[in-house]
């Protein structure tokens, strides 16, 4: 049984219903046109809108422009690094003290437990990028005309933790390959796995000239690779919204396209660090921060700035 009933409709009701339907049918095309126009306009607007900052400004490692450097630039970077140290001495010397303690730790481990020296060095290699990022933050703030803060410097890595993790892992792999290759050279030369103290003392023995040349060449190869991929990549990661691969490729391009100046800069870093380690690592108290600040200025001098500063 159906509960609904049908009521008879009067002529007036029928007339009103007919006019209403006619008006709706007449208005329907207009609504359709308006909807179509709205969709088309929205599509055009989205097409004409610029991409977001992340997409619009992100470039590959082969597209980022590099400046032409001169032979005097590395010395200018050192002077600017010294200036930054003098402008922010307390924070800078804190990092220098950390470098000194790290040197002492490696020396103590080598003295009492030589086999663990490489493992500790690998750990420091992972910590190093975080420390360097703090020094770069100081120079960055000074360049902006701001006063650098201790907490801001210490935690500069927080916003870049993902890319730094990738970069640290790559450095660790290179360090492990370097260590393994060195062990092979030691083992082949001395007919067995090396005793670290005895093998390193053998570096001073003229009879082991072939070993010394092989060891030095191997070290130069891996040190050159690490330098090439890191010389401007770390400050670039801090300064821009970029990924670790792009930063590393940009750094590698800089070394390949301007090998002379960058080789000079690498030799300055190596010689300064070596001399700073001689007086019980105490020289790192000053040399470490100066090299860190100078590396920031090397990046700023070599890599063309973005049109929109994204790191700030």
Give 240-294 pLDDT, tens digit per residue. Answer: 888 888 999 999 999 999 999 999 999 999 899 889 988 889 999 999 999 999 9
Residues in the chain: 312
Helix (H) or strand (E) holding 91: helix 89-112
Does 30 lie in the same domain as 161? no
Rg (CA), the chain: 32
CA distances to 126, 225, 263, 273 from 220, rounded to whole Å, are 20, 8, 12, 15
Q: How many independent structural domains does the chain possess?
A: 2
Structural domain including 36 reads: 8-49
Place of tokens 């020094």: 135
Residue 1 has a pLDDT of: 45
How far apart CA 246 and CA 249 sit, in angstroms, is 5
Is residue 55 a part of any domain in this protein?
no
Does 285 lie in the same domain as 150? yes
Does 240 lie in the same domain as 146? yes
Does 245 lie in the same domain as 199? yes
pTM of this structure: 0.73
Q: What b/e string do you get for 65-81 counting C-beta neighbours within 10 Å, with b at 16 or more?
A: eeeebeeebbeebbebb
How many CA atoms are closer than 13 Å to the CA of 179, on its beta-carbon side?
16
Is residue 214 a part of any domain in this protein?
yes
Does 174 lie in the same domain as 28? no
Dihedral angle, C-alpha 42, 47, 49, 54, nearest 10 °? 130
Give the DSSP letter of residue 66: B
Does 78 lie in the same domain as 31? no
Dihedral angle, C-alpha 200, 172, 297, 270, nearest 10 °? 10
Residue 241 has a pLDDT of: 86
Dihedral angle, C-alpha 36, 42, 45, 46, nearest 10 °? -130
CA distances to 64, 135, 161 from 67, rounded to whole Å, are 10, 23, 28
Is residue 232 a part of any domain in this protein?
yes
User: For residue 223, with 0-12 CB atoms within 10 Å meaning exposed, 13-18 middle and 19 or more buried, which class applies?
Assistant: middle
CA distances to 27, 30, 33 from 39, rounded to whole Å, are 19, 14, 10
Is residue 230 a part of any domain in this protein?
yes
How far apart CA 157 and CA 150 sit, in angstroms, is 13
Is residue 309 a part of any domain in this protein?
no
Does 287 lie in the same domain as 176? yes
Does 44 lie in the same domain as 113? no
Does 294 lie in the same domain as 145? yes
Residue 242 has a pLDDT of: 87
Does 36 lie in the same domain as 68? no
Give the DSSP letter of residue 71: T
CA distances to 125, 167, 233, 244 from 229, rounded to whole Å, are 14, 10, 7, 10
Is residue 3 a part of any domain in this protein?
no
Contact between residue 94 and residue 286 where contact means Cβ atoms under 8 Å apart: no
Does 175 lie in the same domain as 139? yes
φ/ψ of 50, rounded to 5, equals -70, 155
CA distances to 2, 3, 16, 17, 59 from 6, rounded to whole Å, are 11, 10, 18, 16, 72
Does 248 lie in the same domain as 190? yes
User: For residue 216, with 0-12 CB atoms within 10 Å meaning exposed, 13-18 middle and 19 or more buried, which class applies?
Assistant: exposed
Is residue 101 a part of any domain in this protein?
yes
Contact between residue 184 and residue 165 where contact means Cβ atoms under 8 Å apart: no
Show pLDDT as tens, one digit a residue, over the chain (312 residues).
444 433 344 443 444 444 444 444 444 444 444 444 443 444 344 334 343 344 334 566 678 999 999 999 999 999 999 999 999 999 999 999 999 998 898 888 877 766 566 666 766 766 777 788 999 999 999 999 999 999 999 888 777 777 777 877 888 788 778 878 877 777 777 666 555 556 566 666 677 777 778 878 888 888 888 899 989 998 999 998 888 889 999 999 999 999 999 999 999 998 998 899 888 899 999 999 999 999 999 999 999 987 544 444
Is residue 182 a part of any domain in this protein?
yes
């Amino acid at each position: 049984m159906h509960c609904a009933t049908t009521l008879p409709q009067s002529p007036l009701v029928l007339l009103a219903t007919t006019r209403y339907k006619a008006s709706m049918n007449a208005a329907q095309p207009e609504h359709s046109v308006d909807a179509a126009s709205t969709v088309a306009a929205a599509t055009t607007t989205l097409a004409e809108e610029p991409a977001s900052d992340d997409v619009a400004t992100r470039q590959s490692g082969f597209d980022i422009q590099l400046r032409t450097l001169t032979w005097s630039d590395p010395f200018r970077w050192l002077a600017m690094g010294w200036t930054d140290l003098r402008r922010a001495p307390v924070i800078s010397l804190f990092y220098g003290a950390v470098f000194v303690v790290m040197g002492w730790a490696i020396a103590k481990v080598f003295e009492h437990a030589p086999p663990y020296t490489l493992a500790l060095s690998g750990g420091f290699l992972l910590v190093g990028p975080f420390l360097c990022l703090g020094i770069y933050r100081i120079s960055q703030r000074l360049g902006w005309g701001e006063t650098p803060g201790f907490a801001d410097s210490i935690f500069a890595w927080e916003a870049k933790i993902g890319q730094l993790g990738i970069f640290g892992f790559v450095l660790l792999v290179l360090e492990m390959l370097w260590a393994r290759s060195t062990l092979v050279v030691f083992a082949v030369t001395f007919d067995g796995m090396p005793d670290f103290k005895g093998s390193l003392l053998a570096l001073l023995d003229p009879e082991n000239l072939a070993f010394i040349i092989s060891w030095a060449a191997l070290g130069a190869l891996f040190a050159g690779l690490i330098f090439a991929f890191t010389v401007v990549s770390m400050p670039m990661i801090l300064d821009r919204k970029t990924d670790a691969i792009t930063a590393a490729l940009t750094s590698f391009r800089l070394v390949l396209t301007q090998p002379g100046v960058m080789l000079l800069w690498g030799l300055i870093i190596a010689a300064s660090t070596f001399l700073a380690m001689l007086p019980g690592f105490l020289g790192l108290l000053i040399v470490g921060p100066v090299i860190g600040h100078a590396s920031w200025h090397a990046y700023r001098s070599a890599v063309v700035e973005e049109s929109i500063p994204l790191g700030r």
